Amino acid sequence: MSTISPSLMESVSHENRKFAPPAVFSSAARVNGMEAYRALYERSIADPEAFWAEAASELHWFQPWECVLDSSEAPFFKWFRGSRTNLSYNCLDRHIEEGRGDKVAIHWEGEPGDTLDLSYSDLHREVCRCANVLKKLGVKKGDRIAIYLPMIPELAISVLACARIGAVHSVIFAGFSADSIRDRVLDSEARMVITGDGGYRRGKMLELKKIVDEGVASCDCISDVLVVRRGESHPVDCPMQEGRDHWYHELIGQVDDICPAEEMDAEDLLFLLYTSGTTGKPKGIMHTTAGYQVFSYLTSKYVFDLQPDDVYWCTADVGWITGHTYIVYGILQNGVTQVMYEGAPNHPDEGRFWDIIEKHKVTIFYTAPTAIRAFMKWGDQWVEKHDLSTLRLLGTVGEPINPEAWMWYHKKIGSEKCPIVDTWWQTETGGHMLTPMPGATPTKPGCATLPFFGIEPVILTEEGDEVDAGILAIKKPWPGMLRGIYGDPQRFKDTYWCKWGGKYYFPGDGARRDEDGYIWILGRVDDVVNVSGHRIGTAELESVFVEHKDVAESAVIGIPHEIKGQGLVAFVTVIDGCAQDEHLRKELVAMIDKGIGKFARPERIVFSSDLPKTRSGKIMRRLLRDIAEGRELGNTTTLADPSVVEHLQSQFQDET
């Protein structure tokens, strides 16, 4: 276990600016002041079952619940036991029944500039047709379906189509490599992949189907590959395998527009989403139906203060949890209009996002700190060319935001009139856990502030004593929490519940509580690194490196990076007598591209003759971080051979 990031601690420890929500915002907000926030929060903690039941009653249920929270098999908590519902019904049918069918659900924009507007009725029709295609291909309730698509409407459509018929989707971010697809498909025993011939990124067409073909070549569980044609105007070479591969646009024309939503049990599996942990193997995080439904709905409603005429835009990809909850399920359940964009923020130029905001009159904008730092670097001129006056609320997600980036966002994008919600949460939590309430909470640059309703955070020592700076823990179960790790219940218990004897959920982050009771997130305390908001386990890279025949051992660490938040540095020990040269470096980078994806490339690969280890053989990553960040070395007395670090330190400096 590593210690809290000293650089992050340093950057926020002197921050004491405070910004009250603008009065005009508060006066019309759902939670209009701290008194209202506290009253609701206290109710949610004093009687969580009543609180969550009231939230759930705003949604549609085929059958109501017998019990809101069943803790009898903790930590396998069950929410809304006995109920029957359907997420796709709550995202679509409910709005049509309540007269919102003609409202735009999605203003979609492709990177080359092609557009499509889908009303809630249009989306309902497309989801029904996609669901009927899945059924026609033999998909049944409970089957796992892998989805590897670019940010095109069919991504949201196929996710909702799975939910409609009770198939379990496992979306794989379209930046992952063929090997990553293979691992996820095999672990979930998926029977189908939905993909596209390609997708646009910075003016280029990524040939997705070819990556899928390579990924599933050895996966006997796959019986069908459904292929969306994205390259209609720029045909892509897309060989189709007879009997296995099907064109989406051909099948969609052969099915009915109506597909009734399956009545799902509260704890039926809704989706799997693989995420990185501290081992070399990603975990299939399990989210089930009813609890996730209510949590995604309520967090969206309050944290984004959603109002009927809002135009919301989240720039995340549906391949990550942010897109699952705050593009698809949470937002659509609230019946608002949103923007969905396929491509890069700097194509055709660095003003693309601001152009989209101006064009669609976006009112709520939710993005990642890494994107904000890139905008800052590109310069204010790109922002100044555009009218962003429709914006009323800003949000950030995925990694700690440095106060400088927060201030730039506040001034340049929000014109000092938009509250910023810095939302801390995880794939595992399903939705927001710590966040300001935009009409209530005075914000501080870089701080996720206070808990959402029903969430009880505490900061603990390793031994479980409450402290002001230490390890973040969550006291009570909440409806959006993960229900397990697919196929590995023991790993679920060990990873999240064992640290303090089953009393608390352990998220893996460090935190500090300030004099106002606000919580500052200080980064991960385990070997997970957050590169541009993408969560990467250092052990995953290490296991890729050691597959190279010349590599004996490796240790990967995260270091601060100006734009990406964190970057990766790999220390690689080569087998005696093998060359340590540029050629080997290139081969190692190519192995990361193939084994994980280009987004996991290290900033730097350092060849080292040995690694600092304790006498019991454990690599001391803390010392590697000290070396990489040019800090004075911490305690080295437990090292088996202290000369290793001295040598590495001078070598690192020489290479810089």
Residues that bind ligand PRX (CB under 6 A): 275, 321-322, 397-400, 422-427, 448, 507-509, 521, 524, 530, 535
Minimum distance, C-beta of residue 124 to ligand PRX, in the bound complex (Å): 28
Cite the DSSP H helix spans in 361-398.
369-378, 381-384
Minimum distance, C-beta of residue 401 to ligand PRX, in the bound complex (Å): 7
Minimum distance, C-beta of residue 472 to ligand PRX, in the bound complex (Å): 9
Distance CA 556, CA 471 (A): 22
Minimum distance, C-beta of residue 364 to ligand PRX, in the bound complex (Å): 16
Nearest to ligand PRX of 288, 370 (CB atom): 370
Minimum distance, C-beta of residue 305 to ligand PRX, in the bound complex (Å): 18
Nearest to ligand PRX of 331, 591 (CB atom): 331
Q: What is the DSSP string of 13-28?
A: HT----BPPPHHHHHH
Q: What pairing do the DSSP bridges indicate for beta strands 469-474 and 457-460?
A: antiparallel
Cβ 574 vs Cβ 584: under 8 Å: yes
Between the alpha carbon of residue 28 and those of residues 91, 212, 280, the distances in Å are: 25, 48, 48
Given the structure tokens 């998220």, which residue do they identify?
507
48-65 b/e (C-beta count within 10 Å ≥ 16 → b) = beebbbebbeebebeeeb
Nearest to ligand PRX of 370, 427 (CB atom): 427
Minimum distance, C-beta of residue 413 to ligand PRX, in the bound complex (Å): 17
Minimum distance, C-beta of residue 444 to ligand PRX, in the bound complex (Å): 13
Minimum distance, C-beta of residue 432 to ligand PRX, in the bound complex (Å): 8
Candidates 439, 14, 480; CA nearest to 287 is 480
Between the alpha carbon of residue 485 and those of residues 100, 209, 481, 507, 559, the distances in Å are: 37, 28, 12, 14, 29
Nearest to ligand PRX of 127, 521 (CB atom): 521
Nearest to ligand PRX of 32, 530 (CB atom): 530
Cβ 127 vs Cβ 92: under 8 Å: yes
Nearest to ligand PRX of 275, 315 (CB atom): 275
Given the structure tokens 């190692």, which residue do they identify?
588
Minimum distance, C-beta of residue 531 to ligand PRX, in the bound complex (Å): 11
Nearest to ligand PRX of 212, 471 (CB atom): 471
Nearest to ligand PRX of 134, 397 (CB atom): 397
Nearest position to ligand PRX, beta carbon: 427
Candidates 151, 105, 146; CA nearest to 125 is 105
**Distance between terminal CA atoms of the chain?**
28
Give all strands of the β-sheet with 509-513 in edge-to-edge order.
457-460, 469-474, 509-513, 519-524
50 contact partners, CB below 8 Å, separation of at least 6: 43
Minimum distance, C-beta of residue 271 to ligand PRX, in the bound complex (Å): 14
Nearest to ligand PRX of 135, 622 (CB atom): 622
Phi-psi bin for 421: left (phi > 0), alpha (psi -120 to 50), beta? beta
Cβ 19 vs Cβ 443: under 8 Å: yes
Minimum distance, C-beta of residue 357 to ligand PRX, in the bound complex (Å): 21
Nearest to ligand PRX of 90, 427 (CB atom): 427
List the structure tokens of 379.
């310069």
Distance CA 457, CA 187 (A): 32
Nearest to ligand PRX of 425, 453 (CB atom): 425
